[in-house]
Chains A and B, each alone.
Chain A
């Protein structure tokens, strides 16, 4: 079974600064995907960024980037130039690569607050 651990229940950052959210995972699978999801107070879960385990290059999406360390089973999210709209719960998630429609395994989340 896969597990995902987010060790930071809450974090805060000043607007325009950079913040890094941590995530570790445990799996015996060799091929999988890792994700960061954002859940604003309205509760609609939105995909922020995706990383394929077989790719060594870290994924980036505008202000969002990841640091994927496969050997250490670590997958952190860096948010640059933080904006007030980034305030939300952030969930790290794992999905094994077994045909495309597998379940997501989530961590407990990190509550991020961006202060003006």
Chain B
């Protein structure tokens, strides 16, 4: 079974440019997460989707960040315009979802963004 797929793996852009990251979750997983991992830190949630609905986007900086999961499968995270402080690793994770007692989250390899 394929794991969580993210692309690109690495991205270098100049500040003020736009950038987009793509994530394809494990097949059948209804819940998708985007986490931000700054250097030397643990990941922090940016947004969580249940199918196509964003159920937790309280930590997403909405002035420059946007995300979508139009058909409830793959997802795109966008930054426009990028700032120097956005340099980080962007992790995508997915879990089966539903109201069971526990759903393990499976992580992708991440996209390392460098803003110059």
A and B physically associate: yes
User: Which A residues contact B (CB, under 8 angstroms)?
Assistant: 4, 33, 42-47, 50, 52, 91, 93, 97, 99-101, 103-104, 106-109
Partner of B102, one of A100, A104, A107, A109: A100
Is A108 in contact with B42, judged by CB distance below 8 angstroms? yes
Partner of A43, one of B48, B56, B101, B110: B110
Report how far A45 CA is from B48 CA in the complex, Å: 17
- Stretch of B11-19, B20-28, B78-86, B90-98 at the chain-chain interface: B90-98
Q: Which 4 A-B pairs have the closest CB atoms?
A: A106-B42, A45-B107, A103-B45, A101-B31
Count of A-B contacts judged by CB separation below 8 Å: 61
Chain B residues within an 8 Å CB radius of A97: 101-102
User: Which B residues contact A (CB, under 8 angstroms)?
Assistant: 3, 31, 33, 35, 40-45, 48, 50, 56, 89, 91, 93, 95, 97-105, 107-110, 112
Is A100 in contact with B99, judged by CB distance below 8 angstroms? yes
Is A103 in contact with B48, judged by CB distance below 8 angstroms? yes
Is B95 in contact with A104, judged by CB distance below 8 angstroms? no
With both beta carbons as reference points, the residue of chain A lying nearest to B50 in the complex is identified as A101
CB within 8 Å for A100 and B89 given contacts A43-B110, A44-B107, A108-B41: no
CB within 8 Å for A45 and B91 given contacts A106-B42, A107-B42: yes
**Which of A42, A45, A91, A109 gathers most chain B CB within 10 Å?**
A45
Is B104 in contact with A47, judged by CB distance below 8 angstroms? yes
Given known contacts A93-B42, A108-B42, A109-B42, what 12 new A-B pairs fall within 8 Å (CB)?
A4-B42, A33-B102, A44-B3, A44-B108, A44-B109, A45-B91, A46-B107, A47-B105, A100-B102, A104-B35, A104-B105, A108-B40
Query: What are 18 A-to-B residue pairs whose CB atoms are below 8 Å?
Result: A42-B109, A43-B110, A43-B112, A47-B105, A52-B102, A93-B42, A97-B102, A99-B99, A100-B98, A100-B102, A101-B98, A103-B45, A104-B43, A104-B105, A106-B42, A106-B43, A109-B40, A109-B41
